[in-house]
């Protein structure tokens, strides 16, 4: 008798359906697993047999062949224990696959038949929804993780015998209720607060700018000046995760096996701080079947590299491509996997090996050759990809000894409000995908926009909110905003440029909307990730600004990449000030943050 149930194999961040086929024949009792299983999967033979016997179920006295199809896909992990056990039980006639065929199944078995949690459940639930399957069967401890996916029934079981009884129709298992992601993303205060940082106003201002635009930052200063203390407080001023970002991060942590099963969702922005002795696979990702590294675990969050020059030179150079592209591709002989790595880099280093070069109290014991070799561990191409370089000086003793509120810094909550305001401006403005250039000159049909807006209002069941008289009085810009789903912006909101509104209108006329063409959700990016085309529109400089930036590039010897990154930082500073255009003070501050690179090389 042949029995088939469906399991999953996690490759990278994606789940692939694996048909677990069981066939039984008259021969010496033996369990054989074929289909490129790894060592941990081959060991499941003993676990599965013991679990079935200890669940008061009969183990067939025959030769059982388990085939994991497709056979050319390598399978690993303990998540195949449960589908293998169910396929054997069904093959032996103790259960029917009728109720199991519409579910993807994953789970590890203990020797007594209890189900243990596994990694990769969220990608499996997303795969089940994409295939239009009824749901997933997972260990009870993984049920909360899968229940964040809408449209998928989650069956959480605690024991193999319980699941077999459910498959036979003798008992019922209540599906895990759908969990509202927005309710789970509770805005919790961070224990580490900027108010605890005494002085260092210049450094805290730089961190605020970096957080507002997602820029990379390097802090240079003597030991004990507060570099690490400041960096650990960056997550407290970053905006809360959106639902989409939370699912992205949770998917990575699920595959890596680092997800808190009691919560089943990553609700705060990641903060990863690998030690300077970390290996390249540990930071970048890798393995025979690649797994995400620290830079992917920091996706949508912060990667903090303390004592940066002490890290391997090869490791630091491998950061260049992820910093530029926001993703890392790991290639092996038989596959290549891409992991997201859009993180904010915060790095810290001493000015010299002893740490006291230029310090006002301690005398430096290093010679110039040692200092240059130490600083040259951070190469020019890597330093070129860091938007801001600042010096963090020693704190005066009078600020350390005072206990009054005057020396306390601004609370993180107040800084976070300004950062969130700047991020909201970027969300409304920096929309992807961008309309193709071939349609840039096409006229906008206002009458057609009115018809689309009226139809949208009727489809939403609220035609009174956009009656014919109101639509007739709307401008093309107002119609474009209505079709984009953003509604009418309040009077205090920053204005959207005419070019952006025209592009939004053309997208609506082509059948898409401001969230993306063809009804797909577009991604808004931070200023640090602006494309060249978006920079031409959003980072324009007036004559005075161009003159100032030209002089700065010539004097500091900056590259074309540095030229663009200064403009991106200036755009963020302007957003913090609520200005639509980049003014000279914004540009001057951005150049000041870049000039630290010259001091580092001197």
pLDDT in tens, 277-310: 999 999 999 877 788 999 999 999 999 999 999 9
How far is the C-alpha of 326 from the C-alpha of 80, rounded, in Å? 33
HEC readout, 222-271:
CCCCCHHHHHCCHHHHCCCCCHHHHHHHHHHHHHHCCCCCCCCCCCCCCE
- Among the residue ranges 217-221, 357-361, 515-519, the one predicted with the least confidence is 515-519
What is the pLDDT at residue 487?
A: 43
What's the pLDDT score for residue 118? 95
pLDDT at 517: 31
Return the closest-CA partner of residue 18 out of 58, 89, 75.
Answer: 75
Alpha-carbon gap, residue 412 to 419, rounded angstroms: 10
Report the 10 Å Cβ neighbour count for 464.
8
CATH class of 2-179: alpha beta
The CATH code of domain 194-427 reads: 3.40.50.300
pLDDT, averaged across the chain? 84
Top mean pLDDT of 30-44, 147-161, 184-198, 459-473 is at 147-161
Dihedral sign, Cα of residue 501, residue 507, residue 513, residue 516: negative
Q: Does 2-179 match 194-427 in CATH topology?
A: no
Lowest mean pLDDT among 76-85, 183-192, 423-432: 183-192
Say how far apart CA 106 and CA 41 lie, in whole Å: 13
Residue 24 CA: distances (Å) to CA of 21, 92, 94, 453: 10, 8, 13, 62
Q: Are 289 and 74 in contact (CB under 8 A)?
A: yes
Q: CB–CB of 479/446 below 8 Å? A: yes
Pairing verdict, β 327-331 and 336-340: antiparallel
Task: Render pLDDT for 165-188 as a digit per residue (tens, 0 to 9).
Answer: 999 999 999 999 999 888 888 665
Q: What is the DSSP letter of 349?
A: E
Q: Which of 123, 138, 113 is CA-nearest to residue 57?
A: 113
User: What is the gyration radius of the CA atoms in the chain, in angstroms?
Assistant: 29
Q: Residue 101 to residues 86, 169, 221, 451: CA-CA distances in angstroms?
A: 11, 14, 61, 46
User: Taking a C-beta distance cutoff of 8 angstroms, is the pair 137, 66 a contact?
Assistant: no
Compute φ and ψ for 455, nearest 5 degrees. -65, -40
Q: How confident is the model at residue 498 (pLDDT cuts 50, 70, 90)?
A: very low
Q: How, if at all, do strands 108-109 and 115-116 pair? A: antiparallel
**Pick from 9-23, 102-116, 295-309, 477-491: least confident:** 477-491
Q: Give yes or no for a cis peptide into 18 (omega within 30° of 0).
A: no
Model pLDDT, residue 406: 61
User: Bigger pLDDT: 507 or 217?
Assistant: 217
Per DSSP, 518 falls in state: G
Output the pLDDT for position 434: 39
3-class DSSP state for residue 402?
coil
More confident residue, 504 or 404: 404
Which of the pair, 474 or 442, is modelled with greater confidence?
A: 474
pLDDT number for residue 481: 52
Burial bucket for residue 129 (CB in 10 Å: 0-12, 13-18, 19+): middle
C-alpha pair distances (Å), 175 with each of 143, 543, 590: 9, 64, 54
Task: State whether the Cα torsion 439-440-446-452 is positive or negative.
Answer: positive
Give the residue-averaged pLDDT of 236-245.
92
Residue 404 has a pLDDT of 62
pLDDT per position as a tens digit, 183-222: 888 665 556 888 888 888 899 999 999 999 999 999 999 9
The single-letter DSSP state of residue 58 is: P
What is the predicted pLDDT for the residue at 201?
Answer: 87
Three-state SS string over 453-467 comes to HHHHHHHCCCHHHHC
The DSSP letter of residue 480 is H
Nearest to 430 by CA among 493, 517, 524, 497: 524
What is the length of the chain? 602
Q: Where are the beta strands (DSSP E) in 318-364?
A: 327-331, 336-340, 344-349
Does 109 score more than 70 pLDDT? yes
Indicate whether 449 pLDDT > 60: no
Q: Where are the domains of the chain?
A: 2-179, 194-427, 433-523, 530-601
Copy the structure tokens of residue 54.
């200890």
d(CA 468, CA 386): 52
pLDDT of residue 511: 42
Kindly report whether the peptide bond that precedes residue 247 is cis, defined as omega within 30 degrees of 0.
Answer: no
Strand order in the sheet with 217-220: 271-272, 302-305, 344-349, 217-220, 388-391
Instruction: Say if CB 294 and CB 253 are below 8 A apart.
Output: no
In the predicted model, what is the mean pLDDT of residues 368-383?
91
d(CA 533, CA 501): 16
Distance CA 330, CA 335 (A): 9
Q: How far apart are CA 304 and CA 179, in angstroms?
A: 32
pLDDT band at 493 (very low <50, low <70, confident <90, very high): very low
């Amino acid at each position: 008798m042949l029995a088939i149930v469906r399991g999953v194999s996690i490759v990278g961040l994606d789940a692939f359906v694996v048909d677990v086929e069981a066939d039984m024949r008259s021969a010496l009792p033996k369990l054989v697993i074929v289909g490129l299983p790894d060592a941990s999967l081959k060991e499941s033979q003993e676990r599965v047999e013991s679990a079935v016997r200890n669940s008061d179920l009969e183990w067939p006295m025959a030769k059982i062949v388990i085939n994991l199809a497709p056979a050319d896909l390598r399978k690993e992990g303990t998540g195949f224990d449960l589908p293998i056990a169910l396929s054997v039980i069904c093959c032996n006639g103790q259960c029917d696959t009728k109720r199991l065929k519409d579910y993807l199944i994953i789970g590890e078995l203990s020797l007594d038949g209890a189900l243990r949690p596994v990694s990769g459940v969220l990608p499996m639930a997303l795969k089940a929804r994409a295939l239009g399957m009824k749901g997933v069967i997972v260990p009870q401890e993984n049920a909360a993780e899968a229940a964040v996916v809408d449209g998928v029934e989650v069956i959480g079981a605690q024991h193999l015998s319980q699941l077999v009884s459910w498959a036979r129709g003798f008992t019922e298992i209540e599906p895990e209720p759908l969990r509202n992601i927005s309710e789970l993303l509770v805005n919790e205060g961070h224990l580490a607060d900027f108010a605890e940082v005494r002085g260092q106003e210049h450094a805290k201002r730089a961190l605020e700018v970096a957080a507002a635009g997602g820029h990379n930052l390097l802090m240079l200063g003597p030991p004990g000046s507060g570099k690490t203390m400041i960096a650990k407080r960056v997550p407290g001023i970053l905006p809360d995760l959106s639902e989409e970002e939370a699912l992205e991060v949770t998917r990575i942590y699920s595959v890596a096996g680092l997800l808190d099963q009691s919560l089943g969702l990553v609700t705060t922005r990641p903060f990863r701080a690998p030690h300077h002795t970390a290996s390249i696979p540990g930071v970048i990702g890798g393995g025979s079947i690649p797994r995400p590294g620290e830079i992917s675990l920091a996706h949508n969050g912060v990667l903090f590299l303390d004592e940066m020059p002490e890290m391997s030179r090869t490791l630091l150079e491998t950061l260049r491509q992820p910093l530029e592209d926001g993703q890392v591709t790991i290639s092996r002989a038989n596959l290549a996997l891409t992991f997201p790595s859009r993180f904010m880099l915060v790095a810290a280093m001493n000015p010299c090996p002893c740490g006291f070069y230029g310090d006002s109290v301690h005398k430096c014991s290093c010679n110039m050759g040692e200092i240059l070799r130490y600083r040259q561990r951070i190469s020019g191409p890597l330093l070129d990809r860091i938007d801001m370089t600042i010096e963090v000086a020693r704190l005066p003793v009078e600020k350390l000894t005072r206990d009054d509120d005057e020396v306390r810094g601004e609370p993180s909550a107040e800084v976070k409000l300004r950062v969130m305001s700047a991020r909201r401006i970027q969300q409304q403005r920096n929309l992807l995908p961008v309309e193709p250039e071939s349609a840039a000159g096409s006229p906008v049909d206002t009458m057609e926009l009115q018809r689309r807006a009226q139809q949208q209002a009727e489809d939403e069941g609220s035609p009174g909110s956009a009656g014919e008289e109101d639509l007739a009085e709307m401008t093309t810009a107002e119609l474009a905003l209505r079709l984009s789903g953003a509604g009418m912006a309040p009077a205090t909101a920053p204005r959207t440029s005419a070019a952006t509104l025209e592009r939004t209108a053309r997208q609506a006329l082509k059948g898409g909307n401001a969230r993306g063409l063809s009804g797909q959700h577009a991604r808004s990016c931070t200023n640090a990730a602006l494309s060249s085309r978006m920079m031409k529109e959003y980072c324009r400089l007036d004559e005075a600004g161009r003159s100032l930036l030209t002089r700065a590039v010539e004097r500091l010897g900056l590259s074309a990449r540095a030229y663009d990154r200064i403009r991106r930082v200036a755009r963020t500073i302007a957003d913090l000030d609520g200005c639509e255009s980049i003014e000279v003070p914004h540009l001057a501050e951005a150049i000041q943050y870049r000039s630290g690179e010259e001091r580092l090389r001197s």
